[in-house]
Structure 1
Amino acid sequence: MNVFVVSREYAGIAEAGGVKNVVCSLSETLLKSGCDVTVFIPYYACTDTSSVKNLHDCREEVSFTVAGKKESVRFSEGIINGVHIVFLHHPAFAEKQGVYTYTEQEQIENPRHSKGEGHEDVLKLNVLFQKGIVLAARRIITDSPDIIHCHDATAALVPVFVKQAQGQSAEDKKYYGNTKCIVTIHNAGPGYHHNFKDIREAEFLTGLSEKILSCGMSGKRIEPFLLAAGTSTLTAVSPWYADEINSGDTDTDGLSEALKAKKIKVKGIINGIDAEKYDTGNPEVSLLPYTFCPERHDLKGKYLCRKYFFENYAAKNAKKHAENETLIQYGYLDEPDDSTVCITYHGRIAHQKGIDVASKAARLILDKKLNVRFIFAGQGFPELEMQFAAIAKDYPGRAVYIKGYTKQMARLSVASADFSLHPSYFEPCGLEDFIAQLFGTIPVANATGGLKKILDEETGFLYSPNTAEKLSEVLYSLIKIRAIPETNIFTSMIAYAAKYVKENYSWKNVAEKYYLPLYTELAGDEKK
Structure 2
Amino acid sequence: MSSQKKIKKIEDIWIVTREFDGLAGAGGVKDVCRQLAESLVKRANVAVMLPMYGFISPAARGFKPAESLQVDMHYVGVERREDVRIWAKEKKEGKRTLTIYLVDADRFREKRAVYTYTAEDEEEDPHHQRGSGHYDYFAMNVLLQKAALNFMLFKGKRPDIVHCHDGHAALLPVMARERDGFRQFFRKTGFVVTIHNAGLGYHQEVDDLPYAKAITGLPSRIIGKNLLGGRFDPFLASAPYVVMNTVSENYARELRESDDDVMTGWLGHILANRGVMLQGVTNGINPDDFNPQNAERLGIAAPFSPVEKKLGGKAVCRRDIVAMLEKKDLGKVLVSGSLQPLYGQPLFTFIGRLTEQKGVDNLVGALETLLPLDDGFQVLVLGTGVKELEDDLRNLAENKKYAGRVCVLFGYDELLANKVYAAGDFFLIPSRYEPCGLTDYIAQLFGNLPVAHHVGGLVKVQDDKTGFVYHEHTAAALMAAMQRAMKTFRERPGKIADMQQDSVKVIQNVYTWDKIVLRYMQLYQDALALCRN
> TM tier, shorter chain?
over 0.9
Find the aligned partners of 1:244 and 1:477 in 2 and give their Cα distance.
27
Q: CA deviation at 1:365?
A: 1.6
Matching residue of 1:265:
277
Is 1:182–1:232's contact at 8 Å kept on the other side of the alignment? yes
Matching residue of 2:55:
46
- The Cα offsets for residues 114-160 of structure 1, whole Å up to 9 and x where unpaired, read as 11111111111111211222123221x33210000000001000001
Matching residue of 1:142:
156
Find the aligned partners of 1:342 and 1:88 in 2 and give their Cα distance.
43
Is 2:439 the counterpart of 1:432?
yes
Find the aligned partners of 2:250 and 2:486 in 1 and give their Cα distance.
29
Find the aligned partners of 1:48 and 1:24 in 2 and give their Cα distance.
19
Is 1:332–1:398's contact at 8 Å kept on the other side of the alignment? yes
> Whose RCO is larger (CA < 8 A, sep 6+)?
2
Q: CA deviation at 1:174?
A: 4.5
Kindly provide the amino acid, as one letter, of the partner of residue 74 in structure 2: V
Is 2:319 the counterpart of 1:307?
yes
Matching residue of 1:355:
360
Match of 1:372 among 377, 392, 411: 377
Find the aligned partners of 1:144 and 1:299 in 2 and give their Cα distance.
51
Gaps of 5+ in 1: none
What SS does structure 2 have at the residue aligned with 1:337? coil
Matching residue of 1:153:
167
What SS does structure 2 have at the residue aligned with 1:489? helix
Change (3 A) 1:519 1:377: same
Match of 1:239 among 239, 242, 249: 249
Is 2:487 the counterpart of 1:505?
no
What SS does structure 1 have at the residue aligned with 2:269? helix
Kindly provide the amino acid, as one letter, of the partner of residue 224 in structure 1: P
TM-score of the superposed pair, with normalisation by structure 1: 0.93
Q: CA deviation at 1:488?
A: 4.2
Is 2:502 the counterpart of 1:493?
no
Change (3 A) 1:149 1:495: same
Is 2:182 the counterpart of 1:175?
no
TM-score of the superposed pair, with normalisation by structure 2: 0.92
My pick for the range that moved more, 423-432 or 195-204, is 195-204
Q: CA deviation at 1:366?
A: 0.9
Identity, in percent, stands at 32
Gaps of 5+ in 2: 1-10, 93-97
My pick for the range that moved more, 432-441 or 355-364, is 355-364
- The Cα offsets for residues 258-308 of structure 1, whole Å up to 9 and x where unpaired, read as 213212121101100011111111123332221111011111111111111
1:221-370, aligned counterparts within 5 Å?
A: 221-250=231-260, 251-312=263-324, 314-315=325-326, 317-318=327-328, 321=329, 324-338=330-344, 340-370=345-375
What SS does structure 2 have at the residue aligned with 1:116? coil
Change (3 A) 1:11 1:50: farther
Change (3 A) 1:222 1:471: same
My pick for the range that moved more, 502-511 or 374-383, is 374-383
What SS does structure 1 have at the residue aligned with 2:80? strand
Change (3 A) 1:51 1:284: farther
My pick for the range that moved more, 421-430 or 83-92, is 83-92
Q: CA deviation at 1:232?
A: 0.9
Match of 2:117 among 102, 109, 129: 102
Q: CA deviation at 1:254?
A: 2.9
Change (3 A) 1:184 1:487: closer
Is 2:476 the counterpart of 1:474?
no
1:68-147, aligned counterparts within 5 Å?
A: 68-79=78-89, 82=92, 83-139=98-154, 141-147=155-161
